[in-house]
Amino acid sequence: MKIFQIALGILAAIGGFVDIGDLVFNVSAGATFGYQLLWVVVIGVIGIITYSEMCGRVAAISGKAVFDAVRERLGFKTGLMALIAAQVVNLMTLTAEIGGVAICLQLLSGLPYRWLILIAGAALAVVVWVTSFDWIERVFGYGGLCLLVFAVAAVKLHPVWGAVGHGFVPHVDTKSPLLYAYFAIGLLGAAMTPYEVYFYSSGGIEERWGPKDLGLNKANAMIGYGLGGFLSFALMIVGGSLFLDKGIEPEFLGSITIGAEVPLGQIGLLLALVGILFAVGGAAIDTLFSGAYALAQFLGWEWGRYRHPRGAPRFTVTWLVLLVIALGLVMTGVDPVQLTEYAVIFSAVALPLTYIPILLVANDRSYMREYTNGTLANVLGLIYLVVILVISLTAIPLMILTNVGQN
């Protein structure tokens, strides 16, 4: 049944919702504001579904991925700036994810962190080199679903369901509105982080989607990102139930796993660690490929895992080089969690440069033919364009005003 081939959507969503930074950010949103920010995740989920469906459809009908659209609609100059911004943010995120994989391996094995960084980097290179795109998707997408253990943990922690329900209703009720806004912007920025759509649209082409796969595209976007959002809810509820009003600020990956260990014991801890390992490893592959996709598409090079390394040499060398640079950066001892927080905020600034071209191309009748945006996609697309503009204008001021969410 082709309708169950939703690994691409899940893997793309994992990179946005439960990568190394988001795991901590979600739990820490719960620890700080309880269940009050759940509604923000809903808004983010609908936005990313809208735009992923759009760029998946563009990929299926025209064979264009997101950076093809960026280049053709923004032109060389503005497109080049979008490319540079995308590469910087991507590299920051990739660095953080490799660090995350190493932390995870350290929690599992107890070996020294720096050795595990090298092992993580080598393992990623080998996995990407020998594994087909389909299997990368399946292993990391479905493996990351071990994180559903946090949904069980959320239930077992017996939250006050009335309060959880209230969290889904948009409201602001806090003594620190700036910090609240910072968390809201961070959650929205993470939900709509651009590399999700770079990866998703290019993945559609890797899978050779055509007009017959538009249903598959919808299913991938809705179920994949829906699951990502669901995991985000679960983490926030765990954070709210376990840490709120206890003065505990979860800043480390280790403190997240406590969320599964307290209600579920050793098995919960193990599932959480395995889930995090696959999710963060998957996010590393998301960003590794996204960087190479973006560069190759912008310059018109041959690209894609489906072309095999010898069929796309410059693409292959690009991801190898990105991996080596990221390994070098993570060896400096930079804190992965902090790094992704900065990456989300910086990427928020460049959001319009990614999403405006998608909206324009999805409305181009000359090659989208009868598959251009319908009314719903355009109305939602325009509404979210406003949301994106607000995010991009407020992200950095809020980061400065709240001292990166510290007060």
Partner 1 sequence: MTDTVDIGLHVVDHQLLDSEGRRCGNVDDLALEGNPGESLEVVALLSGPGVWGQRAGLLGRIVGWLGGGGTVRVPWQEVEQIAAHVKLRKRAEELGLGRGDDRLRPLIDRIPGADR
Q: How far apart are CA 347 and CA 96, in angstroms?
A: 14
Q: How far apart are CA 282 and CA 361, in angstroms?
A: 28
Q: Give residues with Cβ within 8 angstroms of 333, minimum separation 6.
A: none
End-to-end CA distance of the chain: 50
Of the ranges 194-202, 232-240, 243-251, 305-313, which one interacts with partner 1 (CB under 8 A)?
305-313
User: For residue 205, how many other CB atoms are within 10 A of its CB?
Assistant: 21
Could you list the beta-strand ranges (E) of 191-231: none
125 versus 248: smaller Cβ distance to partner 1: 125
Q: Minimum CB separation from partner 1 for residue 323, in Å?
A: 14
Q: Minimum CB separation from partner 1 for residue 285, in Å?
A: 17
335 binds partner 1 (CB under 8 A): no
Judged by CB under 8 A, the residue of 39, 63, 163, 404 near partner 1 is 63
Of the ranges 64-72, 191-199, 281-289, 348-356, which one interacts with partner 1 (CB under 8 A)?
64-72
Site for partner 1 in 112-171 (CB under 8 A): 129-130
The answer to whether the CB of 362 falls within 8 A of the CB of 55 is: yes
43 versus 69: smaller Cβ distance to partner 1: 69
Judged by CB under 8 A, the residue of 300, 370, 386, 406 near partner 1 is 300
81 versus 379: smaller Cβ distance to partner 1: 81
310 binds partner 1 (CB under 8 A): yes
88 binds partner 1 (CB under 8 A): no
Give residue for tokens 């640079």: 325
Q: Minimum CB separation from partner 1 for residue 402, in Å?
A: 33
Q: Minimum CB separation from partner 1 for residue 292, in Å?
A: 13
57 binds partner 1 (CB under 8 A): no
Q: Tell me which residue of 10, 16, 14, 31 sits closest to 256, measured CA to CA.
A: 31
Q: Tell me which residue of 331, 4, 40, 272 sits closest to 148, measured CA to CA.
A: 272
Q: Minimum CB separation from partner 1 for residue 404, in Å?
A: 30
Q: How many CA atoms lie within 13 A of 67 on its CB side?
A: 30
Judged by CB under 8 A, the residue of 75, 170, 177, 265 near partner 1 is 75
Tokens of 83: 């490319």
Helix, strand, coil shares, percent, the chain, to 5 = 85, 0, 15
316 binds partner 1 (CB under 8 A): yes
Q: What DSSP assignment string belongs to 184-200?
A: HHHHHHHHT-HHHHHHH
Tokens of 369: 């033919």
Tokens of 72: 């053709």
3 state DSSP class of 247 = coil
308 binds partner 1 (CB under 8 A): yes
User: For residue 392, how many other CB atoms are within 10 A of its CB?
Assistant: 19
Of the ranges 35-43, 99-107, 284-292, 309-317, which one interacts with partner 1 (CB under 8 A)?
309-317
Total residues contacting partner 1 by CB under 8 A comes to: 32
- What string marks each residue from 9 to 48 as x (binds partner 1 by CB under 8 A) or -? ----------------------------------------
Tokens of 317: 């060398």
114 versus 308: smaller Cβ distance to partner 1: 308
71 binds partner 1 (CB under 8 A): yes
Q: Give residues with Cβ within 8 angstroms of 403, minimum separation 6.
A: none
**Secondary structure letter of residue 145 according to DSSP:** G
Of the ranges 29-37, 75-83, 323-331, 391-399, which one interacts with partner 1 (CB under 8 A)?
75-83
Q: Minimum CB separation from partner 1 for residue 136, in Å?
A: 13
Site for partner 1 in 343-382 (CB under 8 A): 366-367
Residues that bind partner 1 (CB under 8 A): 62-64, 68, 71-72, 75-77, 79-81, 129-130, 296-303, 308-310, 312-314, 316-317, 366-367
